[in-house]
Amino acid sequence: MLTSLQVGAQTIGYDSTSRPGNYQAKVAEFKQKPITKKDFVFLGNSITAGGNWAKLLGLPNAINRGISGDITYGVLDRLQEVIDGKPAKLFVLIGINDISKNIPDSAILSNYKRIVNRVRKGSPKTSIYFYTLLPVNSSFQKFKSHYGKDEHILWLNREIRNLKAKKVTVIDLYPAFLDEENRLTASLTMDGLHLLPSGYQIWVELLKNGGYLK
Q: What percent of the chain has pLDDT over 90?
A: 89
Strand partners, 189: 195
- Kindly report, residue by residue over 62-117, the tens digit of the pLDDT: 999 999 999 999 999 999 999 999 999 999 999 999 999 999 999 999 999 999 99
Strand partners, 171: 131
- Kindly report, residue by residue over 119-169, the tens digit of the pLDDT: 999 999 999 999 999 999 999 988 888 999 999 999 999 999 999 988 899
One DSSP character per residue, 173-207 reads: -GGGGB-TTSSB-GGGBSSSSSBPHHHHHHHHHHH
Threshold 0.95, pTM exceeds: no
Q: Taking Cα atoms as reference points, which of 175, 172, 149, 148 lies closest to residue 160? A: 172
Q: Taking Cα atoms as reference points, which of 43, 46, 42 lies closest to residue 55? A: 42
Band of pLDDT at residue 9, cut at 50, 70 and 90: very low
**91 CB burial (10 A radius; 0-12, 13-18, 19+):** buried
Which domains, ranges and CATH numbers included, belong to the chain? Answer: 2-209 (3.40.50.1110)
Cα 138 to Cα 145: distance, rounded to the nearest angstrom: 10
- Computed over every residue of the chain, the mean pLDDT equals 94
Residue 110: alpha-carbon gap to chain centroid: 14
What is the C-alpha end-to-end distance of the chain, expressed in Å? 42
